[in-house]
Amino acid sequence: MDSLRINKIVADNGLPKFRKGQLTKAFFSEAVDSFNEITTFSKDLREKLTEQENVLTVTLHKLYSSTAKNAHKALLKLEDGKLIETVLLNPKPGLWTTCISSQIGCALACDFCATGTMGWIRNLTSEEITDQVLFWRFFMKQELKDIQLNNVVYMGMGEPLHNKKEVFKSLDELMNPDTFNMGARHLSVSTVGLLPAMKELTDKYPQVNLAISFHAPNDEIRLGMMPINKPYPIDKLLEGIAYHLDKTNRKIFIEYILLDGKNDSEANAFELGRKLKTLGKKHLIHINLIVYNKTDKDLEATSRDQAQLFKRKIEEQGLSITIRKNLGRDIHGACGQLALKEPNSVKATRSSIEEILK
């Protein structure tokens, strides 16, 4: 459900304009999840709308909750029968974040990411993207009572900027004061660095948080992990980051997954810090270290001691850095683990990087 569909419901059914406000209030302010619960509508109208419309473009297929109850993963079925995953996380008391998907699968095939093993099936529509947020709002009202959703991160299945048109529309909807009414600074988009789209995101949404999947200190290592490094090597990526910093004067987040023996040495930490310091504005750079979450790939996580050593070597260079708390590992809902244990029946495509960049 979004503003466009509410307008369509009102127009298609010849309803008076004030019904738009009632529908909007019910779904977005009161988190009502069915037409039958909109008591300002007559019984006949509620039944008619229930028969002809679904409130959401997604339905719950399976729900997984972590033992600590600080992470929930939903396997959602779309109207064409395909499946996606989305996660709700509680990293600290009073703070709830949803990690949403922008595609079914992903074409970029990053070595450490389970979603990349699926290939790419299709892009999600703007409504399918924002309906994941609405789904969790309904869930939180029913299961968590008065707790509110604080943040939305585009870090689920897919590369958001490979689906730029629909992702941008979904950002507009999430910031729409009449519907989701979320502030730009509570929204984050993560990208491997599709530079033209990244610059467009910076220009259109300078207050939206930007996270960069960096993951290696040099081109040789990064290309072995991320095929996108061929058209967009680190020097070009740094140019895109510099553009964002100059344009917004806001903090940027550098995502760096630690893999044992691949990118986690002291020398790697020094080289990463040296490259990031060439940007200047050290106070606007924050590095998120991600301890690798096991997937089917033949990769191993860096040890806790080595991760702490890497962190110290970055801090010694005057850069801000934290080790991200990995929530939801026991439900395969942690960073890099979304890959659908019940795969879609449609065969995924394996696009080349050249095809992706068209």
Q: Where in the sequence numbering do the catalytic residues fall?
A: 85, 335
Distance in angstroms (rounded) separating the CA atoms of residues 73 and 101: 12
Q: If DSSP states are collapsed to H, E and C, what string results for 3-48?
A: HHHHHHHHHHCCCCCHHHHHHHHHHHHCCCCCHHHCCCCCHHHHHH
By three-state DSSP, how is residue 319 classified? coil
Distance in angstroms (rounded) separating the CA atoms of residues 178 and 185: 18
DSSP 280-292: --GGGEEEEEEEP
350's tokens: 């394996």
Distance in angstroms (rounded) separating the CA atoms of residues 337 and 48: 41
Distance in angstroms (rounded) separating the CA atoms of residues 62 and 74: 6
Distance in angstroms (rounded) separating the CA atoms of residues 113 and 138: 29
User: 257 forms bridges with which residues in the sheet?
Assistant: 290
Q: In what order do the strands lie in the sheet with 71-78?
A: 58-65, 71-78, 83-92, 95-99, 151-154, 187-191, 209-213, 252-258, 285-291, 320-323
CA distances to 82, 117, 158 from 348, in Å: 12, 10, 13
Strand 285-291 and strand 71-78: the pairing is unpaired
Please report the sign of the dihedral spanned by the C-alpha atoms of residue 41, residue 47, residue 50, residue 51: negative
Distance in angstroms (rounded) separating the CA atoms of residues 187 and 338: 20
Compute how many other C-beta atoms are within 10 angstroms of the C-beta atom of residue 253. 16
Distance in angstroms (rounded) separating the CA atoms of residues 171 and 148: 19
Using alpha carbons, select from 191, 201, 112 the residue that is nearest to residue 159. 191
